[in-house]
Amino acid sequence: MLWSLFKILVFVAIIGLLALGGHFLMQTSGGVQITVAGTEFTLGPLQSVITLGVLVFAVWLFFKLLSLLVATLKFLNGDETALSRYFDRSREQRGYQALADGLMALASGEGRAAMTKANKAEKLLNKPDLTNLLVAQAAEMTGDTKKAADTYKKLVTNNATRFVGVRGIMKQKLAEGDDETARKLAEKALAIKPRHEETQDVLLNLQTKAQDWAGARSTLTSKLKAGYLPRDVFKRRDAVLALSEAKVILDEDASLEQQEHAIEANRLSPDLVPAAAMAARAYIAKGKPRLATKILKKAWEAQPHPDLAHAFAEIAPDETPDQRIKRFTALTRIHPENMETRLILAELNIVAEDFPEARRALGDVVEKQGDARAYTLMAAIERGEGASDAVVQGWLAKALNAPRGPQWVCTNCHDIQPEWGPVCLNCGSFDTLIWQTPQTPEIASATGVHMLPLIVGALEDQSEEPEVVEPAEEEDVVEVTADAVEVAEEAEAQKQA
């Protein structure tokens, strides 16, 4: 308000001064005389001042017009002038507007509109690092993969956009199923931007698919250093990768280095069942049963598992059934109420022909958590105690139709795997297999290979020492297992028919 009043007062003052000056000039005598071509012009004081002002304005206008003419000539000649800069700014504004419209169309899923705007922005703007990216993404949206690939290659030639170009080609190769080329491109992209999380994840996934365990461990370490992975998760996954390097530890020609990988995997994650089993077998091969026992006990404390029991049995393969039961106390006294512990005890007592004790070991497992393995054990117990064939066949029929119990299940796709592996065989995800009962339990298979693992193993061991088990009773137990397989095969044949 005060500023507006001040401006009004200043304006009035200027008008007043001009009027006062005009009045003074009109009252003043004299003037200016100008003679042009014999004609004399006499100007009064006020007229002289006005003529001077008009003359100054005319001179100023003349120079302006002259500079405009010079600028026009330079513009036509291709030189940079204010006029050329004006048109450049106008062109740039229209280019950025086309770029913005293209991005909006791309976000809206309008591929053709985005391509049109991208081409317009490409013509108006001389900035390929901006327009090429829009062109490539618009081409991908419209299905023009060739144009997208060509544009990504242009981006690769520019240092500022090389990462974007490599990443774009990498994604195209992934979509085409060319994992080998995609893995090499991911390595190049990660070399440009070592802390890029998405590229780290893609490279890790591709390395695990290609079984490049050493490279995968290096990528995993990069994720840890970048702060994208908690240390406990890193230790678990690093253990899985170390275990994968040692997966041939069970082979007779397994090298010392592979044994060390298994031991390292167990050190990194003691509760990883496959790592504990492999590390135990590595120590057994080195003649260190105490260390093998220590590893298996620690893993059993975390989670009782059949693989741990098998490895524990391998520590002393030539022991008698009674000796085995006594030695297995080191495991069975840990989590005695666990279902796996009770099943192992039942199997061991069946081999030792102590069928009442085997029944006591099972307890209420059959009623509360009955699965194929538990029912098959009950069939063996009934046969061992002299029950009729009808009773035995009844338990075998239940085993045939019962769920298999805990298995290796992928947490990503919920697929059931026959054995543990670092990568899911169905969806290819890394470190997603856990030992649990499936949400949709699988019915016992017709092969019967999952039934009575310790019993069958023990019978094979005892076949070389016939004095440990009476032949007649051994045949009974074998007959139970054979009956289970036979009944299962018959049912499977009926289903196929």
The per-residue DSSP string of 345-378 comes to HHHHHHHTT-HHHHHHHHTTHHHHH--HHHHHHH
Look up tokens 């405009």; give the residue. Answer: 68
pLDDT value for 211: 84
What is the DSSP secondary structure assignment for residue 433, as one 8-state letter?
Answer: E
pLDDT value for 254: 52
Q: Which residues contact 63 (CB under 8 A, 6 or more apart)?
A: none
CB of 395 within 8 A of CB of 379? yes
Q: Which residues contact 330 (CB under 8 A, 6 or more apart)?
A: 293, 297
Split the chain (497 residues) into runs of 10 and give each run's mean pLDDT. 83 84 70 69 72 86 84 70 70 86 86 85 80 85 88 88 91 91 93 92 91 88 90 86 66 58 75 84 87 90 90 91 92 90 92 91 85 89 89 88 86 87 85 83 46 42 38 41 45 43
Question: Residue 42: in which H helix or E strand, if any?
Answer: strand 39-43
CB of 158 within 8 A of CB of 168? no
CB of 216 within 8 A of CB of 204? yes
Closest CA to 308 of 286, 326, 288, 330: 330
pLDDT value for 355: 92
pLDDT value for 116: 87
Residue 98: Cβ within 10 Å count = 22
Q: List 430's β-bridge partners, or say none.
A: 423
pLDDT value for 144: 86
What sign has the CA pseudo-torsion 232, 238, 242, 243?
positive
Look up tokens 């077998």; give the residue. Answer: 281
pLDDT value for 293: 92
Closest CA to 435 of 423, 457, 419: 419
pLDDT value for 470: 36
Residue 441 CA, chain-centre distance (Å), reads: 28
Alpha helices in 108-196 (DSSP H): 111-124, 128-142, 145-156, 162-176, 179-192
